[in-house]
Amino acid sequence: MRRVAAPVIDPRRGSSVMVRGQGHVMTRQLTQRGRERRAQLLDIAARQFAEGGYHPTSVAEIVEAAGVGKGVFYWYFESKEALFTEILRDANISLRRRQQAALGNEPDPIRRLELGILATMHWYHEHRYVFNLFQFAQSETEFAAILVESQETSLNDAMRHVKEAMAEGRIRDGDPLFLTQAVIGTTGHLARRFIFDRDDDPDEVAQMASAFILHGLMAQPASVS
Amino acid sequence: MRRVAAPVIDPRRGSSVMVRGQGHVMTRQLTQRGRERRAQLLDIAARQFAEGGYHPTSVAEIVEAAGVGKGVFYWYFESKEALFTEILRDANISLRRRQQAALGNEPDPIRRLELGILATMHWYHEHRYVFNLFQFAQSETEFAAILVESQETSLNDAMRHVKEAMAEGRIRDGDPLFLTQAVIGTTGHLARRFIFDRDDDPDEVAQMASAFILHGLMAQPASVS
Amino acid sequence: MRRVAAPVIDPRRGSSVMVRGQGHVMTRQLTQRGRERRAQLLDIAARQFAEGGYHPTSVAEIVEAAGVGKGVFYWYFESKEALFTEILRDANISLRRRQQAALGNEPDPIRRLELGILATMHWYHEHRYVFNLFQFAQSETEFAAILVESQETSLNDAMRHVKEAMAEGRIRDGDPLFLTQAVIGTTGHLARRFIFDRDDDPDEVAQMASAFILHGLMAQPASVS
Amino acid sequence: MRRVAAPVIDPRRGSSVMVRGQGHVMTRQLTQRGRERRAQLLDIAARQFAEGGYHPTSVAEIVEAAGVGKGVFYWYFESKEALFTEILRDANISLRRRQQAALGNEPDPIRRLELGILATMHWYHEHRYVFNLFQFAQSETEFAAILVESQETSLNDAMRHVKEAMAEGRIRDGDPLFLTQAVIGTTGHLARRFIFDRDDDPDEVAQMASAFILHGLMAQPASVS
DNA sequence: GATGAATGAGGTTTCATTCAT
DNA sequence: TATGAATGAAACCTCATTCAT
């Protein structure tokens, strides 16, 4: 990690936790202090998972980094797995919030795509450690399912822009899902390679990515062969 | 895994192994039978890692699936990690071989890109389980390094086509590395989503991917705004 | 537990507690409310120990069921072990009280045995959950000692009847302790099997138990009175 | 434990083990050495559970007593619980075997009961530590079920004798199950009190127990044969 | 070459108990 | 009195690796 990244956790969220009370799940009310501790653990864990991998990072390492006893972890989280799941969900919520904020009331769907790509690059730039978490999550069935579910809303947002643009004849006809996935995949991979690996300027990466993606989507392209 | 995928291992390769014997590393010569057993273990392990994850899959499970004792594993591989590293390398060699074979003597660089995308989709279709392996490998530093190294040659192949096309004025000017990464990232993500997740027809996916990518690369696009 | 059983705790008892405060043991005076809370905890704990076992039942579960914080537990009890010890003592006191009440001034020792068996069956019927507590307590040295000590008085009561009956020539000569243990053992096991396991009618079980205890298996028994 | 008791495990039994092989249960073949080690662990564990209780005795203590590493335990047993279950089953098999051997071809059902009681007392005398195991097992639902199931055969054996004797008019009419349970309960409790607690002579205990069971407490019993 | 057995550090999780508020 | 938070030892169990046979 070349520079400290902003946490993805909103400490005001989550004033209560789900815990196991002998067989049935109950909700535990947390004090202000409790909420802060919980957010701290989420943040520390996210960074350690990103740095060292989910499996290789032990609960012991997490609590040690937080400077608390081992029991604290299980006071706030049902399991290591539940913690990771929550990190994934929180990250996606944070990313989508940023994308939404960036769109404002922009009426042009193509412009909305551009703004979304720009917001995404900036968010990744600030939360660079999340790359590895998503990457890993994709690789194990249970977590991949969480990811898909968490990203569904963002996917639909983007697909809406694509459909609108298509209806306006601004972009080529085609399967909207396929095109949207192309947009997302390209954005993600370029972010990984140029923002995460090389720490390039997010504005520049976004601009180049937009160029590639928009030409890819455009109607009336130059003839291919 | 919806259907049985072809192994990525060439059993003729690897007629000797590096192993630890009495403290120092030594090279072991393998018989024909030995080479087959080794290839079998690589194949079984690859599938199990893909299905259940690298860390969650234990050496015990691998040897059990192979129907051999635990000692056999360490007869052929230095460690679980070395085994995985080898799987990654082998997979990339296999993929590149397929891409190379597809290009033939095609003189047109743009056509070479198209053929490469098509070959890639077909290869992923046949080795679908490899997706998870690559995805996971990206997420842990040590394995990510292996991946980057293994994929460097393929990357340079593709970049050569891009540069040539650019020199011929067939595609837009721009950072060739950036454009090549865009091509690769888009191809990979679309393969993941449509070939792995949905088992779509690789020819169709390749065709749609090529359309998106080539328009993205093209010179003289339709005006954006 | 098929039906709610009566608590074995007398909330009027125990107006003060022994607890550890600053390193030394001190006696704490309890208010009326305090005594009730204490009795409530004893009762809840007894049922949970019976249902789920002493060791598997955690203090956390007990206080959760009582709807109080964890500190409360240690305000009223020195430890989980002390709590269980007290449950055992209370249960035996309650049982003996019932047995005593049943005897009245009955002059016939044999009749007294019968009345004792009947009272015991009824008590077990009302406090069915106690079976598991006694059973468990027998199995761990420290608790077994508490049981033996708590049951000594009841044992001596019963043995007095046996000795009197023997002196009157009403029952066979023999080791009074042995015969008394036989009476107790038979009563206990039959209660377990027919009252706890099958929820049979305590009057019927008592009657059949008395017949067995007095006459054994043989046909043509000596007339009872 | 005042004296060393004979193990209840037959090391020739059990040439294979059930173990978990990732989700599904598989059977593992054991070598002669493996079978001995397994029997040793069963025996050591049984004694330690009896002495210190099932829950308080840790797997660490068991393997330490056996002088082996912790992994060995899980090589031979699926879990601590599975081990205990097996101890319970083995003990009941051993007890029943002894009872059966004692009966020979004895035609008289009453005599068979007597011989059964005698064999039981001797078996308990040799396997005294089993008392606590049974006692504890009774107290937790899951293990109690195992006990009931394991003892069903012995119960039916004894009930057959009771029914025969009843058919011959040798013992009183009554519910055969009730009477059989009375026999078993009395025998068990007396064994516990006089053989386990006091280390009395099993022959004497058996004789007094038989007298009580056959005649009850009454003087002038009906003649036995 | 191959096997079953063994190792033991280390993993996740639980829990009796204490303490600051 | 009472609470939520914290502790940390210790529980059960896993697993990469080694080894005797």
pLDDT tens-digit map of A200-209? 999 999 999 9
pLDDT value for A16: 58
pLDDT value for A7: 60
Compute the nearest-CA separation of A19 from chain B (Å). 25
Q: Using a 7 Å cut-off to protein CB atoms, list the covered nucleotides of chain E.
A: 1-20
Answer whether B185 sits within 8 Å of A178, measured CB to CB: no
- Residue reference for tokens 């040659």: B153
Q: What is the mean pLDDT of residues C119-146?
A: 95
Chain B residues touching residue D34 (CB < 8 angstroms): none
Sign of the alpha-carbon torsion through B80, B81, B86, B89: positive
pLDDT value for D20: 53
| Spatial separation of the C-alpha atoms in residues C113 and C170, rounded to whole Å | 12
Q: In this model, does residue C12 exceed pLDDT 60?
A: no
Question: What element of type H or E holds C8?
Answer: none
Q: Is the CB of B221 under 7 A from strand E?
A: no
Compute the nearest-CA separation of C61 from chain A (Å). 7
Mean pLDDT is highest, among A19-33, A84-98, C207-221, for: A84-98
pLDDT value for B19: 55
Compute the nearest-CA separation of A77 from chain C (Å). 16
Question: What element of type H or E holds C216?
Answer: none
| Spatial separation of the C-alpha atoms in residues D108 and D206, rounded to whole Å | 18
| Spatial separation of the C-alpha atoms in residues D103 and A41, rounded to whole Å | 68
From the CB of residue D69, how many other CB atoms can be counted at a distance below 10 Å? 10
Mean pLDDT score across all residues of chain B: 87
pLDDT value for A131: 92
User: Could you tell me if A69 and A63 are in contact, meaning their C-beta atoms sit under 8 angstroms apart?
Assistant: yes
Q: Which residue has the higher pLDDT, A93 or D215?
A: A93
Q: Using CB atoms, pick whichever of C139, C165, C208 lies closest to residue D178.
A: C208
| Cβ contacts of C80 within 8 Å, gap of 6 or more | C59
Burial tier of A165 (Cβ tally within 10 Å: 0-12, 13-18, 19+): buried
| Spatial separation of the C-alpha atoms in residues C212 and C107, rounded to whole Å | 22
- Full set of structural domains in chain A with CATH: 16-80 (1.10.10.60), 83-217 (1.10.357.10)
User: Could you tell me if D42 and D86 are in contact, meaning their C-beta atoms sit under 8 angstroms apart?
Assistant: yes
Q: Which two tokens stand for residue B82?
A: 């070395």
Protein residue minimizing CA–C1' distance to F3: C69
Q: What is the mean pLDDT of residues B144-156?
A: 95
pLDDT value for A204: 97
| Spatial separation of the C-alpha atoms in residues D201 and D197, rounded to whole Å | 12
| Spatial separation of the C-alpha atoms in residues B147 and B140, rounded to whole Å | 10
C-alpha dihedral (B49, B50, B54, B59), degrees to nearest 10 = -10
| Cβ contacts of A117 within 8 Å, gap of 6 or more | A183, A187, A206, A209, A210, A213
Nearest nt by C1' to A57 Cα: E11
User: Could you tell me if B190 and A185 are in contact, meaning their C-beta atoms sit under 8 angstroms apart?
Assistant: yes
Query: Stated in angstroms, how far is A24 CA from E21 C1'?
Result: 30
Q: In this model, does residue C7 exceed pLDDT 80?
A: no
CB pairs under 8 A between C and D: 176
In which band, very low, low, confident or very high, does the pLDDT at C219 lie, cut at 50, 70 and 90?
low
| Spatial separation of the C-alpha atoms in residues C208 and C79, rounded to whole Å | 42
Q: Where are the alpha helices (DSSP H) in chain B?
A: 32-52, 59-66, 70-76, 80-103, 109-126, 130-139, 141-167, 176-190, 202-217
Q: Which two tokens stand for residue D44?
A: 């050591």
pLDDT value for D14: 47
pLDDT value for D222: 47
User: Could you tell me if B79 and B139 are in contact, meaning their C-beta atoms sit under 8 angstroms apart?
Assistant: no
Q: In this model, does residue B22 exceed pLDDT 50?
A: no
| Percent of chain B at pLDDT exceeding 90 | 73
Q: Which residue has the higher pLDDT, A10 or B159?
A: B159
Chain B residues touching residue A121 (CB < 8 angstroms): none
The region of weakest confidence among A150-154, B75-79, C32-36, C74-78 is C32-36
pLDDT value for A172: 84
Using alpha carbons, select from C12, C185, C157, C162 the residue that is nearest to residue C96.
C157
In which band, very low, low, confident or very high, does the pLDDT at C222 lie, cut at 50, 70 and 90?
very low
Compute the nearest-CA separation of A187 from chain B (Å). 8
Q: Where are the alpha helices (DSSP H) in chain C?
A: 32-52, 59-66, 70-76, 80-103, 109-126, 130-139, 141-167, 176-190, 202-215
Q: Using CB atoms, pick whichever of D53, D178, D213 lies closest to residue C216.
A: D213
| Spatial separation of the C-alpha atoms in residues D102 and D111, rounded to whole Å | 11
Q: How does pLDDT run across C88-104, given as a tens digit for each residue?
A: 999 999 999 999 999 99
Q: What is the mean pLDDT of residues A25-47?
A: 85
- Residue reference for tokens 């630890």: B20
Q: Do chains C and B touch (3 or more CB pairs under 8 A)?
A: no
Q: In this model, does residue B138 exceed pLDDT 90?
A: yes
pLDDT value for B23: 43
Q: What is the pLDDT along chain D (225 residues), one digit of tens a residue?
A: 344 566 655 544 445 555 554 444 556 778 888 899 999 999 999 999 999 999 999 999 999 999 999 999 999 999 999 999 999 999 999 999 999 999 999 999 999 999 999 999 999 999 999 999 999 999 999 999 999 999 999 999 999 999 999 999 889 889 999 999 999 999 999 999 999 999 999 999 999 999 999 987 665 544 444
Using alpha carbons, select from B91, D129, B92 the residue that is nearest to residue C141.
D129
In which band, very low, low, confident or very high, does the pLDDT at B1 lie, cut at 50, 70 and 90?
very low
Q: Which two tokens stand for residue A112?
A: 């909305």
Answer whether D21 sits within 8 Å of B61, measured CB to CB: yes
| Spatial separation of the C-alpha atoms in residues A38 and A20, rounded to whole Å | 16
Protein residue minimizing CA–C1' distance to E1: B72
Answer whether D26 sits within 8 Å of B60, measured CB to CB: no
